[in-house]
Amino acid sequence: MKPSRNWIVVLAVVAALIGIRAFSGQGMGRVFVKAEPITVQVAADARMGTPAQSVSWTRWSAVPAKAYFAAERANPQQTEIQFSWARTMGLWLAAFLTLAIFSFMYRDNPAYRFAEAAIVGVSAAYWMTIGFWDTIVPKLLGSVWPNFVKANILPSLAEQSTVQVVAMWAALVLGIMLLMRLSSKGAWISMWPLAFIIGVTAGLKIVSHVESDLLQQSVATFKPLLALERGADGAVAMAPTVWLSLRNVLIVVGVLSCLTYFFFSVEHKGLVGRSARVGVWYLMITFGAAFGFTVMGRVALLAARVEFLFDDWLWLIDPSGKRVVETLSMVVG
Amino acid sequence: MSGFIKVLEGLDRRWIYLAMAISVAGPIIYIGLTGRTLPESATPAAEAVYNAIEELPARSRVLFSFDFDPGSGGELIPMATSLVHQCAARGHKMYFIALWPLGPQLIEDTIKRVITADYPHLKEGVDFVNFGYQAGNEAVMKVMLTDFVKAFPKTKTGDASAQVPMMEGVTRASDFPLLITISAGYPGAKEWVQYVVSSSGGKVKMVTGCTGVQTPQLYPYFPGQLAGMLGAIKGAAEYESLVNANLAKTSGDAKVQPKYQEAQRRMGPQLGAHLLMVALIVLGNIAYFAKRREGARASA
């Protein structure tokens, strides 16, 4: 049997299981919403010329499926909790996109490419919108033309101080100068704002890095090699003393040996060579720990997606008690 | 032996993906159906986070910074849930900010899931407040060091920050006895340490919950510049079990809601996946050394 046939069998079994699940018991992958009428009293606004008024609307909030089943059992005619087509489609779309991304593990395919393109497109559009509405409008336009922005775009815009307005005009000029990079003749103008950006960033980072990563980290390395731990009676507690001293020795040896490894002015021979070798071991253990943590992080993300598929979409499990009335054990049993 | 090694050498990597899927899905289904989770014992880093919150007097100001997005939710949402749960149970005043654009939605979701659902007596503006997102990364942190209201002039609902009742006495970052950042990258815990904790001269005490990728970078800061740390889902599970056990002791109710056991549930699939990886590494090494021995024998 060719490997591809094995895989077709595996995929067919999975598809059949999903089909069985969809048509057994209460089904799967549905979202229910509850109507919440909201009324707000809006005060009169003399500036905009609007009178005091009462504004009402209905907010539809997602509710657990068990609330819908309970409401239906109590009164089949109820309309307070309803099935939501829009949110159900969203749930199925999320499940489809998750499976589409996972499908790449089998081989590259149109579903994967569609999901990938959708993610790239949506992310780009989202970041552009965020950048425009959270930075350009409130910070730049709101400072340069505060009255216009407050009256037409952002009524909640905070008052701007004169210093802020002047600073933002300077930022606007620097921004335009930066865009001159697109011009073939005026590209040199963009060097000035670039120099400003590099200077400010370096200034900010050098100070904070020296303080937090050089000075304070160096201080944290000055450990007593024999750390005496005393118990409540004032006597030296042997086990904590040994462990703490060992930990301190490991830290000090680790720092010195790793520094020796990266010290290339002396040939790595004799004592220096042996110390550098210890440093290599420390580095390898560090890389291993970093790899282990990365694996743990990725598995946690995978588990979250699989949980979403099994819980929200397939309704196979119910760890949060959203449905209670039906789980896999009830379907099978 | 050589036949087995040949099978390993020619193994289609998709079988490994399938094995990983089963090793993750199996425990999820088992834990989902039975509700049983693995036992957890807290390490000093997780205990330090718990103690940092517990040792504060009631009604202390705690500043939360949600510096992540749903992409890291699998690791960080359980931490956020339990941290807010402990602070709400202790009666601390909670101030929420976000330096990531998607942070405010995650703040709202956490408030709804924990505070609105289980602490309905807590009032917005008096017991908790959401300032939403502010663009500017490190610049926002630097401004907060001297003027919090300047960094966050409005709340998420559009009210002036200075008018919020629980803002009385808050001028700068050091007015918060504890800063909690839930961090997935840049800007996140590292920048908070560099620009706020270190610059404040020890006035700002900070704990963090961070992703697995960030954990090794942040360990050197603990216990000096970071008072406590929850590293990856393991740290979240340890902290979660600590909070649940101690809250159950004080309330006398041993039943824990499933939403406060999310990280503990995720340790099951972790175990399955890690066992598989260890087995694969061992098998890979066996195949490597056996092949090397065969090569040496052939050349001899």
Domain range for residue A272?
A: 223-317
On the question of pLDDT at A326 being above 70, the answer is no
| Residue A10 predicted with pLDDT over 90 | no
The domain in which residue B54 lies consists of 44-256
Measured between its terminal Cα atoms, the distance across chain A in Å is 35
CB pairs under 8 A between A and B: 142
pLDDT at A253 over 90: yes
Whether the pLDDT of residue A196 is over 50: the answer is yes
B127 with B184, same domain?
Answer: yes
| pLDDT given at position B86 | 95
pLDDT surpasses 90 at A83: yes
Whose CA is closest to B215, among B84, B52, B46? B46
Contact A236, A228 (CB under 8 A): yes
Asked if residue B243 and residue B106 are part of one domain, the reply reads yes
Chain A contact present for B231, CB below 8 A: yes
A188, part of any domain: yes
Is residue B42 within 8 A of residue A324, CB to CB? The reply is no
Paired with A39 in beta bridges are A56
Whether the pTM exceeds 0.80: the reply is: yes
Domain assignment present for A156: no
Other Cβ atoms less than 10 A from the Cβ of A281: the count is: 13
Measured CA to CA, the distance from residue B131 to residue B154 in angstroms comes to 7
Question: Does residue A69 sit within a domain?
Answer: no
My answer on whether A298 and A235 are in the same domain is: yes
**Tell me: the pLDDT tens digits for B279-298?**
999 998 988 888 888 888 88
The ipTM of this complex is 0.90
Maximum distance among all Cα pairs of chain B, rounded to whole angstroms:
85
Q: Is B272 found in the same domain as B243?
A: no
Of B33, B212, B261, the CB nearest to A297: B212
Q: How many domains does chain A have?
A: 2
Task: Give the chain B residue whose CA is nearest to the CA of A131.
Answer: B135
Supply the pLDDT for residue B52. Answer: 95
- Whether B255 contacts chain A with CB within 8 A: no
Tell how far CA B151 is from the center of its chain. Answer: 25
Whether residues B184 and B294 share a domain: the answer is no
Q: Give the nearest partner residue to B269 out of A106, A209, A299, using CB atoms.
A: A299
Q: Helix/strand/coil (H, E, C) string of chain B? A: CHHHHHHHHCCCHHHHHHHHHHHHHHHHHHHHHHCCCCCCCCCHHHHHHHHHHHCCCCCCEEEEEEECCHHHHHHHHHHHHHHHHHHHHHCCEEEEEECCCCHHHHHHHHHHHHHHHHCCCCCECCCEEEEEECCCCHHHHHHHHHCHHHHCCECCCCCEHHHCHHHCCCCCHHHCCEEEEEECCCCCHHHHHHHHHCCCCCCCCEEEEECCCCHHHHHHHCCCCCCEEEEHHHHHHHHHHHHHHHHHHHHCCCCCCHHHHHHHHHHHHHHHHHHHHHHHHHHHHHHHHHHHHHHHHHHC
User: Is B239 found in the same domain as B283?
Assistant: no
Q: Are residues A234 and A300 in the same domain?
A: yes
Average pLDDT, chain B: 91
* Position A46 in a domain: no
For B:107-136, CB contacts with A below 8 A are 133, 135
Query: SS3 of A60, please?
Result: strand
The band of A43, judged by pLDDT with boundaries at 50, 70 and 90, is confident
Nearest by CB: A296 against B17, B198, B233: B233
pLDDT of A22 reads 81
> A298 and A233 in one domain?
yes
In whole angstroms, what is the distance from residue A107 CA to residue A159 CA? 56
Whether residues B49 and B179 fall in one domain: yes
Measured in whole angstroms, the distance separating CA B281 from the mean position of its chain's CA atoms is 28
C-alpha A249/C-alpha A225 separation (Å) is 5
Whether residue B190 is found in the same domain as residue B289: no
One-letter amino acid at B154 equals K
The rounded distance, in Å, linking the Cα atoms of B23 and B28 is: 9
Total domains in the fold of chain B = 2
